[in-house]
Amino acid sequence: MPAKDALTERYQDLLSVYLKAKTETTLYKGQQFSRKLLEQQISPEDLVSLHIQVMDELFPDMSEEMRDSFDFLLEAMIGYGFAYREHQSLRDKQQQLESEIEVAASMQQTLLLSDVPDFDDLDIGVVSVPAKKMNGDYYNFVKSGNSLSVAVADIIGKGIPAALCMSMIKYAMDSLPDEQMKPHLLLENLNRVVEHNVHSNMFITMFHGVYEPESHKFYYAGAGHEPGFIYNAKEDQFHDLIAKGLVLGVSRTTTYHPYEKEIEIGDMVILLSDGVTECRTNKGFIEREEIVSLIRKYMDLPAQKIVENVFQELDRLQGFELRDDFTLIVLKRLV
């Protein structure tokens, strides 16, 4: 093995130099050399063997005990060699998985793209950012006739299982009849689909609402989802948008309560996923009041600017590391 002889020679050079004058430079060169060894996949026990060979060469009169001690070291090193080789193998495996996930993530992006529709009466802003590569939050806008429906869901469990679940919801929703389904009935339908199909430890929180511009009414229902907010322009007050209901997937027979609210000009409907309320800053969990004050700070801006600014501030507060998928939607009535 010519390659190995070259390495042996190099190691011998470095070691002899070091033994003569124990300089930091030589130690540094030694480390760079070990990097080269790693590149060539030389195992730990190979290195010990290399050392023995070189020592034999440099000190032919080495004591018996010294020599034997190296043999002992070699044996002990095999264990480290096991770990090293497994590590290499696992790294390769991980790289392969990573690239598969990349592919899946970009497929998901394409499949689940939801455009923010143009809707005359409402200024709509959306931001949805995954914590990892695949987004476990789901949001969907559907324009049907004159109405606009909006859904926000959080699939419990992160990563791939959650994303698969989300695809299922999307297809279930897409296959529902075109005529406007009341939010509470839609949730009942979805609940049955989810309960039938998901793993027992999974569940989905969801909020669904429909805005009808003729009546300026917002009909909505919730399945265990983090309450959003509603901003009343006349009072200049934010209120919790409560829509009580059991999360999807627990029981086949769950029913949901229909809610409705009048939306005046200047009012805002704010929907979010719990990635927003799970934000942790240095001081601890963020309070809902803080989110409200952030929205208030930017509320005179267009809806898209509001959500982007709020996201940026919360992102910054968390050190740019999201703990959970983050979704924030603002609907502002213009006319």
Partner 1 sequence: MNLQINQEQINETYELKLAGEVDAYTAPKLKEVMLPLTEKEGNIVVVDLSGVEYMDSTGLGIFVGALKSSKAYNSSLKLRGMTERVKRIFEITGLTEVMDIESEVKGEAL
Partner 2 sequence: MDIQSCVEVRNEWDIVSARQLGRNMAKELGFGNVDQARITTAISELARNIYLYAGRGKICIEPIDQLGRKGLRIVALDNGPGIREIRKVMEDGYTTSGGLGAGLPGVKRLMDEFSIESTVDVGTEISATKWLR
φ, ψ for residue 32 (rounded to 5)?
Answer: -65, -35
Q: What burial letters (b/e) apply to 128-150, b meaning 16+ CB within 10 Å? A: bebbbebbbbbbbbbeeeebbbb
From the CB of 104, what's the least distance to partner 2, in Å? 21
First-to-last alpha carbon distance for the chain, in angstroms, is 82
- Contact between 278 and partner 1 per CB under 8 A: yes
Closer of 81 and 266 to partner 2 (Cβ): 81
Which of 26, 49, 191, 273 binds partner 2 (CB under 8 A)? It is: 49
| H or E element in which residue 294 lies | helix 288-298
Residue 150 interacting partner from partner 1, partner 2, none (CB closer than 5 to 8 Å by kind): none
From the CB of 199, what's the least distance to partner 1, in Å? 8
Q: Which of residues 140-159 bind partner 1 (CB under 8 A)?
A: 154, 156-158
Which of 28, 59, 82, 171 binds partner 2 (CB under 8 A)? It is: 82
From the CB of 5, what's the least distance to partner 2, in Å? 13
- Contact between 282 and partner 1 per CB under 8 A: no
CB atoms within 10 A of CB 321: 8
- Contact between 274 and partner 1 per CB under 8 A: yes
- Contact between 128 and partner 2 per CB under 8 A: no
From the CB of 271, what's the least distance to partner 1, in Å? 14
Site string for partner 1, 194-233 (x = CB under 8 A): ------xxxx-x-----------------xxxxx------
The tokens of 251 are what? 């029981």
Q: Which of residues 17-46 bind partner 2 (CB under 8 A)?
A: 45-46
- Contact between 89 and partner 2 per CB under 8 A: yes
CB 308 within 8 A of CB 125: yes
Q: Which one-letter DSSP state was computed for residue 182?
A: P
CB atoms within 10 A of CB 164: 16
From the CB of 298, what's the least distance to partner 1, in Å? 26
Rg (CA), the chain: 31
From the CB of 112, what's the least distance to partner 1, in Å? 20
CB-based contacts of 282, cutoff 8 Å, min separation 6? none
Closer of 1 and 113 to partner 2 (Cβ): 1
Q: Which amino acid is at 274?
A: D
Distance of CA 132 to the CA centre of its chain: 2
CA-nearest of 256, 249, 274 to 208 is 256
Closer of 73 and 160 to partner 2 (Cβ): 73
Please provide the DSSP assignment of 223-251 as one string. Answer: EBPPPEEEEETTTTEEEEE----PPBTS-
The tokens of 45 are what? 């026990």
Residue 84 interacting partner from partner 2, partner 1, none (CB closer than 5 to 8 Å by kind): partner 2
Binding site for partner 1 (CB under 8 A): 154, 156-158, 200-203, 205, 223-227, 244-247, 249-251, 274, 278, 285, 324
